[in-house]
Structure 1
Amino acid sequence: MNNNPFEIINERLSSIENLLLDIKQKPVEEEKSENLTVKETAEFLKISTQSVYAYIKRGLFTAQKVGRLLLINRADLEASLKDVKSLKYKRS
């Protein structure tokens, strides 16, 4: 083992640099929350919050009321979107 403090510092800096390069090269996975607020849902769908409230009222989206918040489950929302898309192209 080296007793030279400059070599020890240089080795540690090199190690830190390699770790930072590894972190930089890894793809960052965006953490998706399980539930979305009305505002987050509107931003996700690129529609107004009033439209989200209307879809909830019409029963297109299911929402849970938690205190004063309405939360929409992401999986339920995506399933609802698939259902609507399949109905759009369904022949009568």
Structure 2
Amino acid sequence: MIDTAVSKRINPLQELIKSKLNPQKKNVTIKEAAIRLNVTEQTIANYIKKGLIDASKIGRRIVINLESLENNLKEVKSLKYRR
């Protein structure tokens, strides 16, 4: 009984510690973003050209910040349903 009570409180703390020690990757390439969103790479490139997705160029690679990607997609969805 005590073990279950203790494990219920310790498991979320262990997951929090793991997430802090191994943070999620913050930048993704166009290919990775396309896989995450289940669209083609060309669609992502078009969104970047139109300004719907913020991207930055590091050397020859174009990288997209995951947080800004999620925020931009929320804005696009809200504009779509406003009509």
Is TM (by shorter chain) over 0.5?
Answer: yes
Alpha-carbon distance in structure 2 between the residues aligned to 1:49 and 1:32: 22
**Is residue 40 of structure 2 the alignment partner of residue 48 of structure 1?**
yes
Please, which runs of 5 or more residues in structure 1 have no aligned partner? 1-25
Residues 43 and 31 of structure 1, relative CA distance in 2, 3 Å threshold:
farther
Percent of pairs identical after alignment? 44
For residue 78 of structure 1, the aligned residue among 54, 66, 70 is 70
Q: Which has the larger radius of gyration?
A: 1
Partner residue in 2 for 1:13? none
Which residue pairs with 2:30 in the alignment? 38
Q: CA deviation at 1:89?
A: 1.4
TM-score, normalised with respect to structure 2: 0.70
Q: Please give the root-mean-square deviation of Cα atoms over the aligned residues, in Å.
A: 1.7
3-state secondary structure, aligned to 1:89: helix
Pairwise CA distance, 1:32 = 2.4
Corresponding position of 2:59: 67
Higher helix share: 2
Runs (4+) of structure 1 exceeding 2 A deviation are: 26-32
TM-score by length of 1: 0.64
Consecutive unaligned residues in structure 2, runs of 5 or more: 1-13
